[in-house]
Each structure stands twice: as structure tokens, then as C-alpha cells.
Structure 1
């Protein structure tokens, strides 16, 4: 997978765990994400304030991770690629509404959180992924997710009932 936008797939389980960590995000009432409820560009996104909070948390988890001797407060190319995929996937949803720009979302959230979103390399790597390319990435993501579930079911730590269903 030499293409940069696919680079996060080489460490899929790491990004899968990070994404799992943001699913239970609560919206802070004093958050800048409240403004997303009133913003007309986000009318097609269910719970834009929660989406905003999830992105902030995902960004911070990746930014502050020190896996593989990575320096804290940095984003690697694969981190940026995953954030770009995640934003495209969530912003465009199933209806593929290309009127919502990844850069527009990022600029709005950055304007309200300049102290958090100060990584220059991320801004340069965010863009709207072409429809056909996003569909390929979604399929690949789903396949990696299935593989991960099978690996978990077959691991020695899994209950025997779970392992038997996969044989």
C-alpha cells in the first residue's frame, strides 16, 4: 500500500482501537462544538456537536500517542491519512453529500480551537476523497474490521464458544 492515503491500514488495529475510544464521547456544554448545531453546513450531519467532539478526541488521542517511539504532540503521515479518511467517511455518510468540505469543517473547528489544532501537516493532508476512492477505502476498512473480529474470536483469550463459531 504505497499510496499515502492508505498508509493507516498497515497499522489498522491501532486506529481501530483509537476509533473505538471515541464512540462514547459526551458533549461538553461549554464546548466550541455547540456552534456546530447552528451552522447551516452541518444540517445533514446527525448530532454535529457530538461529531465535533469525537473528532477532537480522536485528534488528541493520535496527537498524544507515543506508540513506536513517536514524539508526543506530533502526527505521523498515517495519523493524518486516518483522520482524513475518518472525516470523509463521517461527513459524507451514506448519501455522499460532497457539499460538505473536509477543509471547511477543519477550518471551522480549528478557528475555535487554535491551541489544539496547531499541527500544520494535518491541514495540508486534509481533502475531499473522490467518491470512487472513498468507496474502495470503505470496503477495505470493512474487510480489515472483519479480519480483526476473526482474529479476536480465534485468540486464545476468547471463550471456546466464540472460537467454535469461526471454525
Structure 2
């Protein structure tokens, strides 16, 4: 099983062009599937995944190849070109996320799936499919971080396309803003004094979002100044900590339930560790996030 190198190698850089990839994802969803693509994906899924939900495997195969076609301008460049690297890192993210979300219970390895897909894709003359060596298994924590960023930008571009407000109604604009708030909270809580690529990307999103909020853009009764302000790390930490204090207690030998002592620094550290686990492993599905396979989100009550 090939695992991806450290994100310091540029795994997050595709978010610099995420609008391009969000549009690419939307485009294949509405496009008809080429007959050759459908045939080869059917053969691949029936042969390798006949006992592991072949219909879903076929769909992922088709969508991946349609994405590949949509991004052909970039994936056909030389393999040291930054636009090539950006595009294939996005394809790697997309494939990891789709397999984790839709075939989680089947425990299908990303490398194996891609190798099987590649064998059949190279038979399709219309695609001129080239090997993507960057396909690899993304660690769960990094995949979760990418999911957060993907959803932040998906909601952002549902409000603003780079020049105009595009959400249809004020209510839908505010809902997308609310989703940005909730998703950003999941990200910023991981970024106390953190200089990781993920936290830099979170900061970049914050700058873009705040710039739109200050921009005074108006359409369909909505003004960008009405966007919800994004929470600070301190605000997110306080909210999650408050929720954990409600849920986590210590059972003593005396038969009493005692709240965790926040004043004790060691217990505070343990609290933070529990909180991060709580964010990732809450027992309520995050139903909104398209690219959060089996990730759970916090929903305040």
C-alpha cells in the first residue's frame, strides 16, 4: 500500500485552484458518459468488485475518468509542471474521498482501485489516459482536513463566483454562510499556534471570505456584509469545551460524577485531546459535507 508523502510536499496546493476543480466536479455530473468509458468501467467493476458493490465501483470509475477528461488540459502537461501537479493532487484527493465515502465498508485500497481502473482506461482511445504516479493513500487526518477545506470553498463558491453573488435567495446565501461557519469551526480548532500546510490553507480561506464580507456585493436581496463572521480559535475552543463538559464526566470510587477540572493543566491537555477526538468521532453524521466520508460533525443543541 503506497501512502502519500508529507503534506509539505504540496498536497494542499491544489486548493489554490479549487474553483477550477469544483467546476470540474460539477461538469461531469451533468455530462453524458462516453460509451467506451461506461463499457470499460463496467468490465472493471464486474471483474474486480463483483462482490463489493460493483455498481458503486462503476460509478466512481466513470466519474473519475470524466473528471480526468475535464482536466485534460492540465493532466497532459509535463509531470513537473505546477498545474499538472495541482490537478493530479486534486484527482488523488477526489478518489480517496469517494472511496472512503461510498465504499468504506468494502475496505477498498485506493492504489488497488486506481491500478485496476488504469488498466481498463488505457484501452479507451478517446482519452489517451496517462499514468498518475501521485495516486496514493491519504492518511485519515489529512483527508479530514482536505474535506473541511473542500466544503468551505464549495459553500463559498455557492455564494460568490469570483465576481458576482450567485446564490438564488437571501435565505440560501445565509445558509451557505452558516455552513462555512460550521465547517471553519472544525478547521480552526486544530490551528492553535500551528504552522501546518492545512492551517495556512485555513488562513487563506479566512482572508478570501473576509474580503468578500467587506466587499459590499449585492444580489437577490443579499449583501455580502451579511455573511456570518468566522469564529476565532478561542471561540471555537470555548464552544467545543463547553459541549465536552456537558458530556464527559469522571466516575469516582465514591459513586459520584464529577466534572473535569479545567484548572488543572494536565487535565486541560487531556481535554483538548478528547475534544479533537470528539470533533472527528461524534456520533452524528455530517450530512451536508459532500466530501466528508463517514466523518461526523458537531451540531450544537
For the pair shown, the structure with the greater C-alpha radius of gyration is 2
TM-score (norm 2): 0.45
Equivalent position SS for 2:11: helix
Structure 1 pair 57–95 and aligned structure 2 pair: CA distance change class (3 A): closer
TM-score (norm 1): 0.77
For residue 166 of structure 1, report the CA deviation from its aligned partner.
7.3
Q: Determine which of 59, 73, 77 is the counterpart of 1:64.
A: 73
| TM-aligned CA distance change 1:95 to 1:61, over 3 Å | closer
> Residue 133 in 1 paired to residue 142 in 2?
yes
Does residue 1:82 correspond to 2:90, yes or no? Answer: yes
Deviation at 1:14, TM superposition (A): 0.6
Provide the secondary structure at the position in 2 that maps to 1:43. Answer: coil
Q: 2:130 aligns with which of 82, 102, 118?
A: 118
Q: Which moved more, 1:5-14 or 1:157-166?
A: 157-166
Please give the secondary structure, in 1, of the residue aligned with 2:160: helix
Aligned-pair Cα RMSD in Å:
3.1
Write the deviation string for residues 105-155 of structure 1: whole angstroms up to 9, x where unpaired: 111111112263224xx2x21111111111111011111112112224982
Higher helix share: 1
The more displaced of 138-147 and 37-46 is 37-46
Distance across 1 between alignment mates of 2:162 and 2:71: 27
Q: Distance in 2 between matches of 1:64 and 1:35?
A: 27
Larger mean CA deviation between 14-23 and 37-46 belongs to 37-46
Aligned positions, number: 158
State the distance in 1 between where 2:15 and 2:23 align: 13
- Give the equivalent residue in structure 2 for 1:163: 222
